[in-house]
Amino acid sequence: MNRNFLFPMVSAFLLILGTGVPSMAGEPTEQIKQTTDKILSILADPNLKNPARAEERKQSVRRTIDGRFDWEELARRSLAQYWAQRTPDEKEEFIQLYRELLARTYLNKVQDYSGETVRYEGENIESDYATVKVRILTAKNTEISVDYRVMKRRSNWLVYDISIEGVSLVNNYRSQFNSILQKSTYEELVKKLKEKSLTEKP
Amino acid sequence: MRKFDIELAVGVFLLVGIICLGYLSIRLGKMEVFGSRGYDIQAVFINSGGLKNGSDIVIAGVGVGRVKTITLENYQAQVVMNLPWDVKVQEDAIALIRTKGLIGEKYIEITPGGSDKLIPPGGKIRDTQPPVDLEELISKYIFGKIQ
């Protein structure tokens, strides 16, 4: 399951890349587009294409993504009913581990970017929540539909879930964490997450 | 006098029969006459994938409620679900349409969230996931290959 959706996840994670058609988009779309364009410009920067600066490139993509994602909300929603049982320190640790997990799983593929383009297909705002609909056109001419679920924090719209072809990232991790936590302990889950970030090289 | 007794007995018997029949058809047809119990919440799906009125609503594999109505709203499927009062749904819960087996009937699964805020009666599950369309995935795979 996880693997099958890796590719579209990767694509989505890069908030992909490519110039959207300028339109009368609302605030959430505008902000998602800004982040996407910024990442695109980092990836297209010829100075950073040098393999020696790959790490620097990755870090700056990561910083850009950090500014648009609400990691605490993502972690909270993924841990769901187990979130409340954690102490503030554990929560803080978990957010970092979760962020690391996602970054390591998807960000490594940044180098694989091969000219995917993005079309912004509209948005749906309901008070402080919104969905930004995006279509990614891959080099193979396959279309992938991606929905960014965003919520308003002050003047910023931050991503709290991504759904690719209708499959939600949060729900995927929620059911995985759930089944781990039902069989073993929270400590075991943290151990697993730590192991995973050690084995998968950045 | 005797004749009157028999007629009364037949009448009562018939009446009881009709009431039983009525009760049975209401139960079997899963109709609700005296208003539904519990409370309603709604969810909007891009695609309801053949979900029907009366389809099960499941949390952790346990059937908790039923789909009350499905209507088309702005070219999306708006589903009203009826849940018992003791089943609370958090504001960050996710509603998914799933299939029993590979080609079985559709049902709604709710994965509970961790928020303190609960969805009030008449409220809405914001995050939904439509059924995964195997045909669509296969066709995407095929067309992806040809290019």
**CB proximity under 8 Å: B 24-83 to A:** 46-47
- Better-predicted residue by pLDDT, B131 or A15: B131
Give Cβ neighbours of residue A143 (< 8 Å, ≥ 6 apart): A135, A136, A137, B140
Q: What is the reported pLDDT for A10? A: 53
Q: Kindly list the distances between the CA atom of residue A180 and the CA atoms of A78, A88, A132, in Å, as whole numbers in the listed order.
A: 12, 21, 31
Q: Kindly list the distances between the CA atom of residue B63 and the CA atoms of A28, A169, B60, B84, B129, in Å, as whole numbers in the listed order.
A: 37, 25, 8, 11, 19
The shortest C-alpha distance from B25 to chain A (Å) reads: 39
Q: What is the reported pLDDT for B30? A: 64
Predicted confidence band of residue A62 (pLDDT cuts 50, 70, 90): confident
Q: What is the reported pLDDT for A17? A: 44
Give Cβ neighbours of residue A46 (< 8 Å, ≥ 6 apart): none
Q: Which residues pair with B80 in a beta bridge?
A: B42, B69
Predicted confidence band of residue A21 (pLDDT cuts 50, 70, 90): very low
CA–CA dist A61, A110 (Å, integer): 9
Q: Tell me the three state secondary structure of residue B142.
A: helix
Give Cβ neighbours of residue B67 (< 8 Å, ≥ 6 apart): B51, B52, B53, B54, B55, B56, B57, B79, B80, B81, B82, B108
- Better-predicted residue by pLDDT, A9 or A93: A93
Instruction: Please write the tens of the pLDDT for every residue from B45-68.
Output: 988 888 999 899 999 889 999 999
Q: Which of B111, B126, B144 sits opposite A171 (nearest CB)?
A: B111
Whether the CB-CB separation of B42 and B124 falls below 8 Å is answered with yes
Token couple for B27: 């139960």
> Is B114 in Cβ contact with A138 (below 8 Å)?
no
- The full set of domain ranges for chain B reads 1-31, 39-132
> Is B112 in Cβ contact with A171 (below 8 Å)?
no
Instruction: Please write the tens of the pLDDT for every residue from B8-49.
Output: 999 999 999 999 999 998 887 766 655 567 899 999 998 888
Please choose, from the candidates A15, A5, A7, A11, the residue with its C-alpha nearest in 3D space to the C-alpha of residue A158. Answer: A15
Q: Which residues of B touch A165 (CB under 8 A)?
A: 132, 137
The shortest C-alpha distance from B123 to chain A (Å) reads: 13
Q: Does A76 touch chain B (CB under 8 A)?
A: yes
Q: Which of A83, A161, A175 sits opposite B127 (nearest CB)?
A: A161
**pTM of the prediction?**
0.76
Q: Which residues of A touch B126 (CB under 8 A)?
A: 126, 129
Q: Are strands B62-73 and B106-111 parallel, antiparallel or unpaired?
A: unpaired
CA–CA dist A52, A54 (Å, integer): 6
To the nearest whole number, what is the mean pLDDT of chain A?
A: 81
Q: Are strands B124-125 and A117-126 parallel, antiparallel or unpaired?
A: unpaired
Q: Does B144 touch chain A (CB under 8 A)?
A: yes
> Is B129 in Cβ contact with A171 (below 8 Å)?
yes
Instruction: Please write the tens of the pLDDT for every residue from A133-180.
Output: 999 888 777 788 899 999 998 888 999 999 988 889 999 999 999 889
Whether the CB-CB separation of A13 and A102 falls below 8 Å is answered with yes
Element holding A12 (H helix, E strand) = helix A6-13
For residue B48, give the chain A residue with the closest CA.
Answer: A166
- The full set of domain ranges for chain A reads 6-199
Whether the CB-CB separation of A159 and A67 falls below 8 Å is answered with no
Q: Phi and psi (nearest 5°) for A154?
A: 55, -120
CA–CA dist A108, A127 (Å, integer): 35
For residue A178, give the chain B residue with the closest CA.
Answer: B111
Q: What is the reported pLDDT for B116? A: 87
Thinking of the domain A6-199, which architecture would CATH place it in?
Roll (3.10)
Whether the CB-CB separation of A172 and A2 falls below 8 Å is answered with yes
Q: What does the DSSP assignment read for A111-141?
A: GG----EEEEEEEEEETTEEEEEEEEE-TTS
Residue type at position A179: S
Instruction: Please write the tens of the pLDDT for every residue from B70-104.
Output: 999 888 999 999 999 999 999 999 999 998 887 78
Q: What is the reported pLDDT for B118? A: 92
